[in-house]
Amino acid sequence: MKHKYDISWDCDIHKVIECKTCGFKHIYPIPSQKELDNFYKEKYFREVKPVAYENICDADILNVKMSISKDENLQSIYEKVIELKQSDSMGIVDIGCGNNLLSYLFKNKGWKEYIIEPSKDAGTYLKRFDLNVINKPIEEVDIASFEDISFINLQFVLEHITSPLQILEKAYDLLSPGGIIRICVPNDFSAGQMAYMDYFNEKPRWICLPDHINYFNFDSLNNILTKIGFNEVYRTTDFPLELLLMGGINYYGSGVEQQKVSPFIANFQGALINTGRKETLQAFYETLAKVSFGRNIYMYAIKPI
């Protein structure tokens, strides 16, 4: 495919282009599928995000199983899906979930689960929870045998793959009418990040190679979902780190400032949650998402009936 663009940003041997062909920003040239498959199957959870799976014993697995039902984040996702879906089907497909156990929660609530996870180590870990794991990249999976799917979860996946449009089209075909897709991606090249970059004459430090190929914001994600046939039904976000950057707290350029970020967010959220104002925090993030602020995008869309 020939990628048309007028705007680009240089980054090492690659550049990030504002692609008119695809409708979102991505690195160029795009790595080969073979390079990526090897990276995620063999290296990602060992070098980029290492997890000591070999040290996880049966007692640890039991403790995790017992904690899943109490996990407020997973429970809130389940409740949002139940609220939004218009299909009676009860099948979930979680694509590229790593060691996230959202599917285990759904399974315990009577859903049929399918997990598509290319990492060998993560796949082995997930199987210890008696989950149905397909240890392949999504591009290689034959979805013909999947039945009654009313929820697809794509959590921090689309930024990593060579063909996000094809994956979303595949997801659309897989979903039952009235089914929900949930997508989480970093909110990159957002208005806040661009303001920081222009005001301080900075470069786009959020470009993350080799694993982040694609870069979305709320508008570009909504546009491609609409193009495929989905209708957005809900969006929210999390703490808007671009506010710190715009205010002159450059955590990208200072290790000292970087160490302050996590405690700052923890205190901000804790002040609301621990004083009985969790709903205020949720409304705050939902409001930010309406104007496309926030570090990450959490978007739900429905396949029309």
Dump pLDDT digits (tens) for 70-82.
Answer: 999 999 999 999 9
Q: What is the mean pLDDT of the chain?
A: 92
pLDDT for residue 41: 63
pTM of the model: 0.93
Q: Domain spans of the chain? A: 5-302
- The whole-number average pLDDT for the span 175-182 is 97
How many whole angstroms separate alpha carbon 37 and alpha carbon 33?
Answer: 6
Amino acid 121: pLDDT: 87
CATH number, domain 5-302: 3.40.50.150
What does the pLDDT average to over 258-272? 96
How confident is the model over 196-210, as a mean pLDDT?
Answer: 91
- Sorted by sequence, the CB contacts under 8 Å of residue 77 that are 6+ apart come out as 102, 153, 182
pLDDT at residue 45, as a whole number: 59
Confidence band (pLDDT; 50, 70, 90) for 142? Answer: confident
Read off the pLDDT band of 250 (50, 70, 90): very high
How are the residues of the chain apportioned to helix, strand and coil, as percentages rounded to the nearest 5?
Answer: 45, 20, 35
Contact 186, 292 (CB under 8 A): no
Which pLDDT tens digit goes with each residue over 146-174? 889 999 999 999 999 888 999 999 999 99
